[in-house]
Amino acid sequence: MKSTKNSISDIALDRRRPNISFEFFPPKNDEMEARLWNAILELKNLTPNFVSVTYGAGGSTRERTHHTIKKIIDETRLKPAAHLTCIAASKDEIQQVIENYWQIGVRHIVALRGDMNASSPNYQLHPDGYKYASELVAAIRKTAGMDFEISVAGYPEKHPDALNLDEDIDNLKRKIDAGANRIITQFFFNTDAFLRFVDKCLDRGIKVPIIPGILPVSNVKQTRHFAKMCGATIPKWMDKIFEDLGEKQEARQIVAGIVACEIARVLYDRGVNDFHFYTLNRCELTSAICHVLGVR
C-alpha cells in the first residue's frame, strides 16, 4: 500500500491515474435526451474505460436502452457496457437480446437479475426464465462465438434480499464462478464498509477486480429513495448536513462534491485505482471529482 496522504491536493499531485467508468440511463423524452448527450459529450473527453447504460425494472426500457447504446457506438469512440436483466423474460427473449447486442457492436454486458417494475409488486418469475444473475452470466458465457466481457453487481452493505453479507458474498461468488470478469458495487458512503467487503470477497476466493460505485449526490430525496432500494446506508451526519441546507441548491452541490471527493480520496489512499460513477445523466459533479483524481 502507498503511504497515507492527508488531503485531496495530494491526489492531484500524484502521478497515478485512476481508471474511470460512467453509468447513464436511457432518456424518456427530448429534454432528457439533450441532457444525456450533453453529459456524454462532456465526460467522453476524460477517456473512460467504458460507459454503462441501464436497463429499466422488468426490462421496461429495453428499446430505449438499445437506442442509446447504438447511438453511443455510432457517434462516439466510447466502449458501451450494456445492462441486461433476466427477470420477467424468457430464456429465448434473453438470448435474442444477447445476440442483438453483439450484432450492434456491444462487447461488454453488465449482467443483473433486475427488479420488477414498481407497478407490479407481486410479480412471478417467468416460467421459462433465469432465476438468478449467476444463471444469466452462465448463459452469456456459453453463447457460441460471442466472447463478452461480463460485469456483475456487488453490495458492500449486502443486497436487501440477502439474510446477511456472508450469504450475499456466497451468491456473488457463484456469479464469478459462472464466468463474470468484474464486480461493480452499488453506491455507498461508508468507505470502511467497502474495504471490509473487499476483504471478505478475497477471503472467499474472489479474485476479479472490484470497482467501487460512486454516487455524487445531486438530489437528496432521490438518493434516499435509491439507498432504501439497494440497502445503502446514508450516515446521519451526511443526512443532517443536507437537511440543514434546505433548498440551497448551490450549497448542496458543493457539499455533495466534497463528500464524493473524500470517499474517492480515502479509497485512493488505500490503493483503489478504479472508480465507477453513477452520473444520473449529469456531468458537473462527476467531472469535477475526476479532475481531483487527476483524470483530465
C-alpha span between 264 and 261 (Å, rounded): 5
For 200-230, letters b (16+ CB in 10 Å) and e give: bbeeeebebebbbbbbbbbebeebeebbeeb
- Give the pTM: 0.91
C-alpha span between 111 and 105 (Å, rounded): 17
C-alpha span between 276 and 286 (Å, rounded): 10
**So where are the chain's domains?**
8-292
Which cell is 78 given?
A: 466510447
- What pLDDT, on a 0 to 100 scale, did the predictor assign at position 121? 54
Identity of residue 36: L
What does each of the 296 residues of the chain score in pLDDT, given as a tens digit? 444 455 555 655 466 899 999 999 999 899 999 999 999 999 999 999 999 999 865 555 678 889 999 999 999 999 999 999 988 889 999 999 999 999 999 999 999 998 765 555 555 677 889 999 999 999 999 998 999 999 999 999 999 989 999 999 999 999 999 999 999 999 999 999 999 999 999 999 999 999 999 998 877 778 888 888 888 988 888 888 888 877 787 888 888 888 899 999 999 999 999 999 999 999 999 999 999 898 98
C-alpha span between 65 and 162 (Å, rounded): 28
**Domain 8-292 belongs to what architecture?**
Alpha-Beta Barrel (3.20)
C-alpha span between 236 and 220 (Å, rounded): 13
- What pLDDT, on a 0 to 100 scale, did the predictor assign at position 7? 58
Judge whether 99 counts as a catalytic residue. Answer: no
- What pLDDT, on a 0 to 100 scale, did the predictor assign at position 2? 42
- Name which of 263, 238, 132 is nearest 185 in CA terms: 263
- What pLDDT, on a 0 to 100 scale, did the predictor assign at position 250? 84
